[in-house]
């Protein structure tokens, strides 16, 4: 199994995050980042979900791709990922906070989005089709745990995508499972993006404790322990 974690604990409060300073005691450094003019990603004690530091992303008013971090998933046949986010505002239209690309990074094959009413949305390769929409708006200024598990398909109708969200370390508020999703047919995965990856979204978003691995997607990674980025030994079950 291949696994990566990042807790932000190796940073310094108020310092701008770079690929060079995001590793060390934080865990696995970001392989790449994108921070356009007028936006920022900093280490922040006020953004710590656990431990003493987290990442504070300040999105700009411009629509489109904004501040985000990326991990390369080269050779990964599947993905489980877990992280925590806290949103200060909803987007003013459909916007994305995560996507996963194919092995050549030419196509995003899975999207996690939020609409202007604050509902989470899961989309596959054809990102205008909602696979899942949360029943209620996500509470603002509240830590939300996001869980994603996925396996690219060998056809356009047998991809696996599973999603759950919860308030901090509580049991999942909602879960979703689809074993016949269109995630296109690309083989292994390419890259995981988290942050403002498209849409009109002027907000401050705190982000902490990202863990990812290529283990069996029968379970989610689950909540981290009392310290930063420790994979729960008894992860939450994924619905079949």
- Tens-digit pLDDT profile for residues 50-84: 999 999 999 988 899 999 999 999 999 999 999 99
Split at pLDDT 50, 70, 90, the class of 187 is confident
Q: What is the pLDDT of residue 231?
A: 41
Gyration radius of the chain's alpha carbons: 16
Burial category of 206 from C-beta neighbours within 10 Å (exposed 0-12, middle 13-18, buried 19 and up): buried
| 3-state class (DSSP) for residue 25 | helix
Q: Give residue for tokens 């900093």.
A: 42
Q: What is the pLDDT of residue 190?
A: 93
Q: Is residue 240's pLDDT more than 50?
A: no
Q: What is the pLDDT of residue 105?
A: 85
Do residues 199 and 91 touch, judged by C-beta distance below 8 A? yes
Among 118-132, 151-165, 196-210, 215-229, where is mean pLDDT lowest?
Answer: 215-229
Do residues 108 and 128 touch, judged by C-beta distance below 8 A? no
Q: Is residue 235's pLDDT more than 70?
A: no
Do residues 165 and 144 touch, judged by C-beta distance below 8 A? yes
* 120 vs 98: CA distance, rounded Å: 11
* 113 vs 97: CA distance, rounded Å: 6
Q: Which two tokens stand for residue 29?
A: 């450094």
Query: Structure pTM?
Result: 0.91
Mean pLDDT value across the chain: 91
* 215 vs 81: CA distance, rounded Å: 10
| 3-state class (DSSP) for residue 24 | helix
* 89 vs 112: CA distance, rounded Å: 16
* 20 vs 15: CA distance, rounded Å: 12
Q: Give residue for tokens 């806290």.
A: 86
Split at pLDDT 50, 70, 90, the class of 26 is very high
Q: Is residue 143's pLDDT more than 70?
A: yes
Distances (CA, A) of 152 to 131, 197, 224: 15, 21, 26
Q: What are phi and psi of 45, to 5 degrees?
A: -65, -30
Torsion sign across C-alpha atoms 153, 149, 42, 92: positive
End-to-end C-alpha distance for the chain, whole angstroms = 22
* 192 vs 210: CA distance, rounded Å: 11
Which of 70, 84, 67 shows the shortest CA–CA distance to 201?
A: 67
């Amino acid at each position: 199994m291949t696994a990566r974690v990042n807790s932000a604990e190796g940073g310094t409060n108020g310092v701008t995050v770079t690929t060079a300073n995001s590793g060390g005691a934080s865990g696995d450094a970001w392989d790449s980042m994108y921070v356009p003019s007028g936006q920022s990603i900093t280490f922040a004690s006020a953004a710590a979900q656990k431990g003493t530091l987290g990442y504070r992303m300040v999105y700009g008013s411009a629509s489109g791709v904004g501040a985000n971090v990326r991990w390369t998933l080269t050779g990964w046949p599947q993905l489980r990922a877990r992280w925590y986010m806290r949103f200060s505002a909803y987007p003013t239209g459909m916007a994305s906070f995560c996507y996963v690309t194919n092995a050549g990074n030419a196509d995003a094959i899975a999207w996690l989005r939020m609409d202007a009413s604050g509902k989470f949305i899961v989309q596959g390769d054809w990102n205008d089709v909602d696979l899942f929409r949360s029943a209620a708006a996500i509470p603002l200024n509240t830590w939300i745990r996001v869980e994603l598990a996925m396996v690219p398909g060998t056809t356009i109708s047998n991809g696996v995508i599973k999603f759950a969200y919860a308030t901090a370390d509580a049991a999942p508020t909602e879960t979703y499972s689809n074993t016949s999703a269109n995630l296109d047919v690309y083989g292994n995965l390419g890259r995981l993006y988290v942050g403002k990856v498209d849409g009109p979204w002027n907000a401050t978003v705190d982000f902490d404790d990202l863990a990812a691995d290529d283990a069996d997607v029968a379970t989610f990674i689950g909540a981290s322990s009392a310290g930063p980025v420790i994979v729960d030994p008894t992860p939450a079950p994924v619905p079949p």
